[in-house]
Amino acid sequence: MTTIPNRRSRLRGGLLGLLIGDALGVPYEFHDAASIPPPAAIDMTPPPGFARAHDGVPPGTWSDDGAQALALLDALLREHALNLDTFAGNLLDWFHRGAFTPDGRVFDVGLQTQRAFHALAAGAAPAAAGPGDERDNGNGSLMRCFPVVMVAASRDDAIRLARKQSVVTHGHVRSQLCCALYCLTALGIVDGQSAPDAVRTAEDELLARHEGTADEIELKIVLDGRFDALQGSGYVVDSFWSAIHCLLSTDSYEDCVKRAIALGNDTDTTAAIAGSLAGVVYGERALPARWVATLRGKDKVEGWLAKL
């Protein structure tokens, strides 16, 4: 008999699932799908002979995805709200001093995120720091926004927080809407919906909310992304739908994140997004014990989880 995870297990599973998916995907980043090892060989340590990315990074180390998610969680928990000055300060603490990492080492920083940090250094307000052109729709704000699901008081609150956290590094409305769609989907699963129903409900809710508004066209671009060929790329719309595909086409956490990595390209981020959702679906106890044991920095993570 399958035990249905409770809310605590789903939320812990979501955060740990993000961090494990990120760490699992790190060695395979920048490789195309054809060069990714078969699923049975995908692990924290790649098979012999594989030209791993980020050579020298120990197995089980999360990258920018996990660090920024923890930076967001810390900001949300510290003030029981989202103060963008606090969040931006956390991000800069990570970038300059290695905060929110297992070992103080910073690697794999996105281009749009770096531009936002330069804007902050030049005096930009956090709400205006994120590049906002159409070409600036990388996945850097989507990959980190699971903590919104952990603290949101309502679905409306989740939409507001998802969009607000995005603008610090990714200001375009398309990125904001992807974050909102993701958070509503995850919240639906936490509240007991099946994953397919949670996706549909999130879509319908955003469509109704934005009908006749300036954001409606951008939302339809986001939703139409389901029909594009999945690439596991750094484009925020592709990242979201790649993760959803991996979630809906598998029946375990392990298979979900391995399928995300099999897409190639931005493997750590696709696996982080898919892994957070799979962690919510299956709960903390479904995370593979060998990967939980390999994950570095767990004591730090437990410190934040204890504050929930």
The closest of 224, 213, 73, 231 to 139, measured between CA atoms, is 231
- Binding site: residue ranges? 63-65, 266, 268-269
Does residue 284 sit in helix, strand or coil?
Answer: helix
CB 259 within 8 A of CB 269: no
The closest of 92, 68, 23, 14 to 261, measured between CA atoms, is 23
Retrieve residue 86's tokens.
Answer: 């606090």
The closest of 68, 141, 74, 73 to 98, measured between CA atoms, is 68
- Binding site for Mg(2+): residue ranges? 63-65, 266, 268-269
Element (H, E) at 187: helix 173-190
Say what the alpha-carbon torsion angle 111, 113, 118, 122 is, to the nearest 10 degrees. 150
Question: What burial class does residue 38 get, using C-beta atoms within 10 Å of its C-beta: 0-12 exposed, 13-18 middle, 19+ buried?
Answer: exposed
Does residue 32 sit in helix, strand or coil?
Answer: strand
Q: Which residue shows structure tokens 């696709």?
A: 270
Q: Measure the CA–CA gap between 79 and 177, rounded to whole angstroms.
A: 24
**Amino acid, single-letter form, for residue 251:** D
Residues β-bridged to residue 42: none
